[in-house]
């Protein structure tokens, strides 16, 4: 039974670890990167299950050192941008294909959700273990 508990906790910790890792990568790019503006060249609108709509933007930006164009993608709320609009972007000078958008609150909602999910699973494992030990299950 302990293996089952460990698997549940590891599965709940995975999204939390992934979010923290992505936040660190974005922070590293923002700290060491070159600030530029990307131009939106295409917008693909997708409908989500509960009735929401999101836009997937295709971005194009140029490396300042070489002038070589690079493409990127971003997901934003619908109708926020139009084709041809510019948005701030940061890329690593050594590897311009690694970029981050200059947003302030990109990962905080996801991080809070992942922490709550992890805490819920740990509490559920604790309660399930208590029920198994008392013979209720």
pLDDT tens across the length of the chain (137 residues): 889 999 999 999 999 999 999 999 888 998 999 999 999 999 999 888 887 888 999 999 999 888 899 999 998 888 888 999 999 999 998 899 899 987 667 788 899 999 999 999 999 999 999 999 888 76
Q: Are 42 and 83 within 8 A, CB to CB?
A: yes
53 lies in the same domain as 87? yes
Q: Are 9 and 129 within 8 A, CB to CB?
A: no
27 lies in the same domain as 54? no
86 lies in the same domain as 135? no
For residue 66, what are its two tokens? 């070489």
pLDDT of residue 72: 93
The dihedral region occupied by 107, where left means phi > 0, alpha psi between -120 and 50, and beta the remainder, is alpha
Decide: residue 114, CB within 10 A, 0-12 exposed, 13-18 middle, 19+ buried.
buried
Q: Which domain covers residue 59, as residue numbers?
A: 34-91
28 lies in the same domain as 43? no
Number of domains in the chain: 2
Q: Are 88 and 34 within 8 A, CB to CB?
A: no
pLDDT of residue 69: 94
């Amino acid at each position: 039974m302990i293996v089952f508990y460990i698997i549940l906790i590891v599965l709940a910790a995975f999204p939390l670890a992934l979010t923290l890792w992505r936040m660190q990568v974005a922070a590293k790019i923002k700290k060491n990167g070159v600030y530029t503006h990307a131009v939106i060249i295409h917008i693909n609108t997708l409908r989500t299950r509960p009735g929401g709509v999101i836009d997937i933007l295709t971005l194009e930006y140029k490396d300042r050192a070489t002038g070589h164009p690079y493409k990127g993608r971003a997901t934003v709320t619908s109708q926020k941008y139009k084709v041809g609009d510019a948005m701030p972007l940061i890329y690593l000078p050594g590897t311009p294909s690694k970029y981050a958008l200059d947003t302030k609150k990109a990962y905080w909602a996801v991080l809070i959700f992942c922490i709550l999910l992890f805490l819920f699973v740990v509490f559920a494992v604790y309660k399930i273990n208590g029920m198994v030990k008392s013979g209720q299950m």
